[in-house]
Structure 1
């Protein structure tokens, strides 16, 4: 067959050459060892944990090495694209602090290796598709969906491997005159790769996570260009990763099955493939067994879930790092206050098998991360969350900024900070008693304290309370009240002879705590009262006396 003639018939409007395209995308001038990575989501409107999982690895590999991290939008499948899908992608990665050096934007691209949206690169793909056709490595296929379904039925009946290959590739050797007749008749076609692979031969490959691997060669004549001239993922990512000079591709291990196709395409194009990093699937326990996280079953797969719940970005990134590198937790224990970017991320410490996602562990990490934050940071992040998800709470938080910061400062910025808040959505319940509008009696007074003694405790403490007292003076007054009312001034005395006392100083303190906070568990009561102020403290003591 005259392959040049065929190429001209299929691509009459393509006059650029591969050499001209290559000249537009020169080798990058980067330091030796610098990595070029990309995240390439589809604008489906759904961003999931796996997107972030891979993006964190991409960003670390690139920026630790002085390389480039870029965003490419893989929008070749218009059926799956939703309005605002690109904006969702950009907002999510912005929220999580993953800064791209170049790539797609809402208004325009940034960088010299674009366009960064695949549908805008049609001429580029078709130039290389034409070249493959000229080399006899690609051909048109005019099969309808019904014809392909019929082939599949025959393969099922004969127990043959499914696909378009060998004897089943019915248009592989179609004469040029027949091709021309179909084109003249306006019959739509796809462009297929002419595979020379054989399942009896093996492809050897080294993955940066999985190590040495072997696969059967690809024998399928996969589709390169769809009938609208837009490429499939297989062809598009090969062309783009080459031209954008991508050195490392991080993607889920579910893509391993198609790796022989991609390596075969790189070889057919005469290009060196990037290094592949196939990450383990995110798993969760379901009863006594593990399963893959599911969009349908698991709300925690969607990144929107973490924003709505109020997980801090830093906590989610920190948790993902524990899944990505097995030595991260050890590093964090040794460096509790260190910036996470100081951690030396490496593919050598990535899990070969499935990474187990544990929401309880994420909560624990989140508590630790928030406890290490400065008061100003907590205030900014909490009010930002509340503004979007709880307007009533936002109004209370911002009514008196100094007062709110006093609340958040309790037990913070000290050697052993409190860990009361795991997610911002829990802050309202934790802080509610500080606001009169939210305060309510949530728990009962100690059962071993009579109503008469309760009233006496609150009356005496109300008269004695002075916000100018230091912590010791404040507690001495509670001890004195305890002794005056027949309670032990310390727990040691009570334990020695419990029958001699109505209770101990802890019971008296609990009465005061419940009156002032409405609950039996709260931060340090001395600090709480300092923040509430004398007027509010005495008002609540008075209500408890009634």
Structure 2
């Protein structure tokens, strides 16, 4: 088509579009940011499903932006209404708020926050149409009147010929349609999509440096992809290129599954005359399935959904800490050297990101979570468990919140010092951890040391109440247990017992175990000195008496 025909076609297809690309540029001036500041974005679709991959990329986005004094913004890519669900935007905003990833600007529940909106793509149709008209004027876009049936037939023929699938070369049947033919098709009421006139021929190649994958060499795009669908709504390919340009995105972070579309996006950036952002293609999240690795699956793996971690009760910091170990290979070493530093103090870099699949391990996440929880102050643990249990365990919530000071004292056990206890990995484990502190949950136990006679067990249980004094410090408390054991024929030290087992009924550890089982109902519990002090003498004494009664009633 001639230049004159291209101009006529642009007016024919977009008679109501009067704005120019230059006018759009003026509406979105360069950002006033320090040199080296990065502008990144999170741009999910409002499908109602937020997954681990979203968070994986968002942490990268947020760190790159905020470490450099830049901007991290939220854009909603809602051009595909078939995938959108009611409340999808609210879900996106809620999830990222819960995970402590603050957006500097972008879509909000109420509307927009920032000078580069609208931040919802369906509200930006006039912008896309302005650039679409310009591409038509320059002969770089054209209407395609193929029906679904014709495209399906084309695909069958390509399959039969073992040709690459797509709309390109000889298969791009409307690429050279004349202006008169287009006018006739429009007059006949035929629907059309607007396609991009690709610059590649299937032979040319280009090079591009990805900040994770390194130097890439790929074929120049030869696919005449759809820019505007028949309803005038843009495709992802077209919309995101324009948005990233006008919003001055400097770094595009996305999963490596998008690498196949990179030639299309590079071609579009060049055709539109835009400066390209830097690309950061993150490794896919994998898991072991038997002896082999596979990509985490929405259908097979509940742990892919972010709501899974919320329901299980993983603290946000635990999930973020673990993902950081997958994102930067030197994070674990840094954390060991800086156990109490804030995650934000770590210098995140794309140079340390994995170039291949990142193996997601739930057991490793559990270990990381135990470490992070062990370092939290007792008051914060209480607040987080109370908040979690309000939604997911009302019974636990009622018990904890009726006496916050009592509950906080429980969480204080073993906290602080060089080697804090690591009993809890997720909030859903809390009830089992502290059930014996509440009479409503306490279950009596009977797993006393098997080598002890019933008479010896009763002697310990009957004589200890007279010795227990809540004002004793831990040394005095343990000395009384030791002296009781010695008076009943037990060794004062385990080593002493092992050297001459026939001389003793057992050792002081056996005496402590008898008390532990009677008071807590279990053989493993937090430090018994703290347990008894929190329970109080009255309840400790009552449980010992109840244990005596159960033994005698056998």
Name the TM-score class by shorter chain.
over 0.9
* Kept after mapping to 1: 8 A contact 2:269/2:276: yes
Question: Does the CA-based 8 Å contact 2:445-2:518 persist in structure 1?
Answer: no
1:239-250 matched pairs, under 5 angstroms:
239-250=242-253
Give the Cα–Cα distance (whole angstroms) in 1 for the partners of residues 413 and 465 of structure 2: 23
If the length of structure 2 is used for normalisation, what is the TM-score? 0.98
Q: 2:219 aligns with which of 216, 221, 226?
A: 216
Q: Deviations over 1:28-72 (max 9, x none)?
A: 010000000001000000000000000000000000000000000
CA contact (8 A) 1:443 1:520 kept: no
Measured against aligned partners, the alpha-carbon deviations of 1:201-259 in whole angstroms (never above 9, x if no partner) come to 11111000011110011111000011111111110110000000000000000111010
Deviations 1:380-424 (A, max 9, x none): 111010011001100000010110011000111222111111000
SS of the residue corresponding to residue 133 of structure 1 reads helix
**How far did residue 466 of structure 1 move?**
1.1
Counterpart check, 1:46 vs 2:49: yes
Q: Is the 8 A contact 1:190 1:226 kept in 2?
A: yes
Deviations 1:112-138 (CA, angstroms, capped at 9, x unpaired): 000000000000001000000000000
Q: Does 1:418 align with 2:421?
A: yes
Provide the residue aligned with 1:451 in structure 2. 454
Which of 264, 289, 300 is the matching residue for 1:261? 264
Q: How does 1:4-43 map to 2 (within 5 A)?
A: 4-43=7-46
Decide whether the 8 Å contact of 1:165 with 1:221 is kept in 2.
Answer: yes
Equivalent residue number for residue 142 of structure 1:
145
SS at match of 1:276: strand
Maintained 8 Å contact 1:139/1:191: yes
Q: 1:441 Cα deviation (Å)? A: 2.5
Distance between the aligned counterparts of 1:518 and 1:375, measured in 2?
24
Give how far 1:480 is off: 1.8
TM-aligned CA distance change 1:85 to 1:494, over 3 Å: same
Q: Is 2:531 the partner of 1:534?
A: no
Instruction: Give yes or no for contact 1:54–1:251 (8 Å, CA) kept in 2.
Output: yes
Give the distance between the partners of 1:168 and 1:151, measured in 2 at CA.
Answer: 7
Distance in 2 between the 1:389 and 1:78 partners?
32
Note if 1:490 corresponds to 2:499. no
Deviations 1:12-43 (A, max 9, x none): 11111111111100000100000000010000
C-alpha contact (below 8 Å) 2:10/2:133 kept by paired residues:
yes
1:235 to 2:238 alignment: yes
What is the match of residue 398 of structure 1? 401
1:361 to 2:357 alignment: no
Give the counterpart of 2:194 among 191, 194, 198. 191
Partner of 1:225: 228
Map Cα deviations across residues 260-280 of structure 1 (whole Å, 9 max, x no partner): 000000000111110000001
Q: Is the 8 A contact 1:440 1:518 kept in 2?
A: yes
1:74 aligns with 2:77: yes
Deviation, structure 1 residue 347: 0.4
**Contact in 1 for aligned 2:313/2:388 (Cα 8 Å):** yes
Note if 1:316 corresponds to 2:319.
yes
Deviation of the 1:503 alpha carbon: 1.0
Per the alignment, residue 371 of structure 1 pairs with 374
Paired with 2:475 and 2:379, the residues of 1 have a C-alpha distance of 29
Task: State which of 61, 65, 72 in structure 1 corresponds to 2:64.
Answer: 61
Mapped to 2, the partners of 1:503 and 1:374 lie a distance apart of 38
In 1: Cα distance, 2:537 partner to 2:49 partner? 51
Structure 2: distance between partners of 1:251 and 1:147:
33
Deviates most, 77-86 or 190-199? 190-199
Match of 2:127 in 1: 124
Q: Counterpart of 1:465? A: 468
Number of residue-to-residue matches in the alignment:
546
Q: In structure 2, which of residues 337, 346, 351 is the aligned counterpart of residue 348 of structure 1?
A: 351
- Structure 1 stretch 134-143 or stretch 175-184: which is displaced more? 175-184
SS of aligned partner of 2:217: strand
Q: Distance in 1 between matches of 2:164 and 2:476?
A: 84
Matched, 1:299 2:302: yes
Once the two structures are superposed, residues 354-390 of structure 1 have per-residue CA deviations (whole angstroms, 9 ceiling, x without a partner) of 1110111100000000000011111111101001100
On the 8 A contact 2:220/2:263 being kept in 1, the answer is yes
2:442 counterpart (439, 442, 448) = 439
What CA distance in whole angstroms lies between the structure 1 residues aligned with 2:445 and 2:421?
22
CA contact (8 A) 1:311 1:366 kept: yes
Runs of 4+ in structure 1 deviating by more than 3 angstroms, as ranges, are none
Q: How much does 1:10 deviate?
A: 0.8
